[in-house]
Chain A
Amino acid sequence: MNHLPLIIKREYVNKVRNKSFIVMTFLSPIIMIALIGVVAYLSQINNDKKRSISILDETGIVGDVFENTENTTYTLINNAGLDVAKELVKAKENFGLLYIKKSSDTLNLVESVNFYSDESPSVSIISNLERKMEKRLSEIKLQNDGVDIAQIRASKTTVNIAQETFGGEKTSKIDSYLKLAFGGAAGYLLFMFIIIYGNMIMRSVIEEKTSRIIEVIISSVKPIQLMMGKIIGTSLAGITQFLIWIILGGVLLFLVSAIFGIDLMQIQSPQQEMINQAMASSDAQNIAQDLITGFVNLPIINLCIAFLFFFIGGYLLYSSLYAAIGAAVDNETDTQQFMMPIIMPLVLAVYVGVFTVIEDPHGTVSTIFSFIPLTSPVVMLMRIPFGVPIWEQLLSFAILVCTFVFTVWFAAKIYRVGILMYGKKPTYKELFKWLKY
């Protein structure tokens, strides 16, 4: 008798109807979007703040480099002493006063510039002021040495290396970032999925043990059927939750940005800065073109298929281990000692992915880890956008499947014995003994 569909259905319905599951499903994206909104709003306020800075330039050579910008107004103060200028700035409630003292060596202002203000200014304000003065001074120095500034400006060139494979495929830096983003997203998604829903499977096994219904159930179905039903049912619930998150998150993000008029693109993450830098070197049209060709050049079909297979393979591998742990213990606090060996390879995989694959996607370390079954799903998913030969992918997947079959056998053994064991926390030695029962 095949009860698998029945078990899957119960697990799924039970999970999806669970109150905390529903609350989490709908609250998480709202909280996430609210957070993003708040951050975006705050940084906008910050950017919108108008400052005026007064400048008292006794040397008379740098005062005119400060041009008003959208948020900052510069005012030159002429013919006043420092004390008078300070009073003046305070009276006008300006943000601060930049004081450039007259010194014997006008070109060496290193120690004779001061900034006075009530609040201490941010690093970016100060470095902005410094940069402007430095530029002007070095220009003056060059001029004094008889160099033509116009020539220097004219001599500035930008180099943009066009990348092309031997096969004739054009690639670019944007390409690499795109690949990184795809691989990283896939690997990280798998990682999150395993952690969240693996735990859910484990808890559901423990629940059956503590409520003692397990004996009734397994007098009707085979333990391995029950275990697989649990894993699949919970995963389906997980996929449902993920889809709702993505859809709800997308809609909310759109609504929030539409209603509050916040330009979300303004929030800059480090990656975006990298991309911006990459973009800075080529002009806008090229970028758009690069993005499109980069996207087209991605091994999309390969990526999708590999994602599907490695995701399922990796997830099943880990979740069967989680199920075995749940079966081996009586309550959640006892799971700690068994969790370590599961979490370690996962974290290792993400680290290898983030640090090594980015550096050298086809290097020894990345290659080895993309074959080791416990790390291969994450690492391989991160590598594939950079182009991995099909035979490597197949080999890695074959190893994964073999391990998976072994793990399920192993987990089923532990599960079969463990679900009927109560009382004491088992040791690894006892778990090994169970395999022979």
Chain B
Amino acid sequence: MNNLLVANAVSKSYGNFKALNEVSIAVPKGSIFGLLGPNGAGKTTLIRIINQITMPDSGEVLLDGSSLKPENIRDIGYLPEERGLYKSMKVGEQVLYLAQLKGLSKQDAKDRLKYWFDKLEIGDWWNKKIQELSKGQAQKIQFIVTVIHQPKLLIFDEPFSGFDPINASLIKDEIIQLRDEGATVIFSTHRMESVEEMCDHMALIHKSNKILDGRLTDIKRQFKTNTFEVGMQSSNPDEVTQMIKEKFEVFPATFKNLNDDIKMNIKLPKETSSNDLLSFLTSKAEIHHFVEVIPSANDIFIQTVKNN
């Protein structure tokens, strides 16, 4: 697979505290990669190493196949979790300055800034100071600062915090559009629903170690328990339920359905397939609902962290 960013056995210690222990990740080109983990797991340290803010004690980071160089700064756009801009500086000047620091020429920066201001409909903010804007408005500016130099790699640390639902979905659409235009996105977040919604790959870091990574669908397959959610109708529900319970492991299930009938989760042994279950059930009752239970990213996160 063609990876844009590869980290090989990256370690970093602060004094006696080991912030990262031989962590390796591979971020495929054009993917949205979820970097997950509880607070203090080491995500920010890894992101800072990718941004060359800190240097790893050992291990290496490759961008596009070659190790990170100072020039790569302009290939990366970073939205830190701790947002901040110069409060007393005017919006336009500020974004121009930050874009120039990323290596854009003044004219290029101006043109792109105009494009983004039009796109997000904030053109009249040019001469406002950051301290005159609301938090959400400042976040929009920060987003523009992150993407203005058209980096190959975008790193968002909790990108939706501080946005109302309307602006959050606006930003989400922008991120997806950027990905479609060829950028690769790394997402660091706690919000599992956005992982579910957007990410195609993920890695889980816990207590300085990477404990899980891969394609989201692969991970889900790995974590699925061969359990099926079933809804049926029968003239004799108690008898049917009893028969199923004798043969399989059964858990209660809740889901919305038109009929007030038998609802249950049925866990199958490894060698039994869904077809076996279906053929067993069709003879007993009328099946309305039959779905494989797929673990959510949230479940996987909690389960993995708890087991470690």
Chain A interface residues (CB < 8 Å from chain B): 1, 3, 6-7, 10, 14, 18, 207-208, 211-222, 420, 422, 433, 436-437
Contacts and interface: CB of A to CB of B under 8 A. Distances in A.
B51 A219 contact: yes
B97 interface: yes
A215 B103 contact: no
A18 B86 CA distance: 13
B73 A437 contact: no
Contacts of B80: 212, 215-216, 219
Given A220-B73, A420-B53, A215 B101 contact: no
Contacts of B97: 6, 10
B102 A220 contact: yes
B108 to A, nearest CB: 14
A167 to B, nearest CB: 56
A155 B135 CA distance: 89
B84 A215 contact: yes
A215 B71 contact: no
B14 interface: yes
Interface centre among B15, B52, B83, B101 (most CB of A within 10 A): B101
A216 B73 contact: no
B186 to A, nearest CB: 13
B70 A1 contact: yes
6 contacts: A211-B87, A215-B78, A216-B80, A219-B76, A436-B15, A437-B54
Contacts of B84: 211-216
Nearest to A14: B89
B275 to A, nearest CB: 53
Contacts, number: 66
A6 B100 contact: yes
Contacts of B83: 212
Contact of B101 (A208, A211, A217): A217
Nearest to B71: A1
A220 B84 CA distance: 15
A218 B53 contact: yes
Given A3-B101, A219-B73, A212 B78 contact: no
A22 B223 CA distance: 65
B70 A219 contact: no
B86 to A, nearest CB: 6
B86 A437 contact: no
Given A1-B103, A18-B88, A219-B73, 12 more contacts: A7-B101, A207-B86, A211-B87, A212-B84, A213-B85, A215-B53, A216-B84, A216-B142, A219-B51, A219-B52, A220-B98, A433-B15
Contacts of A220: 73, 98, 101-102
Contacts of A216: 78, 80, 84-85, 98, 142, 145
A20 to B, nearest CB: 11
Contacts of B52: 219
Contacts of A1: 70-71, 73-74, 103
A266 B142 CA distance: 61
B124 interface: no
B70 to A, nearest CB: 7
A6 B103 CA distance: 11
Lowest 10 CB-CB distances: which A-B pairs, in order?
Answer: A212-B84, A220-B101, A213-B84, A215-B80, A219-B51, A212-B82, A211-B84, A219-B78, A213-B85, A220-B102
Interface in B122-150: 142, 145
A208 B98 CA distance: 14
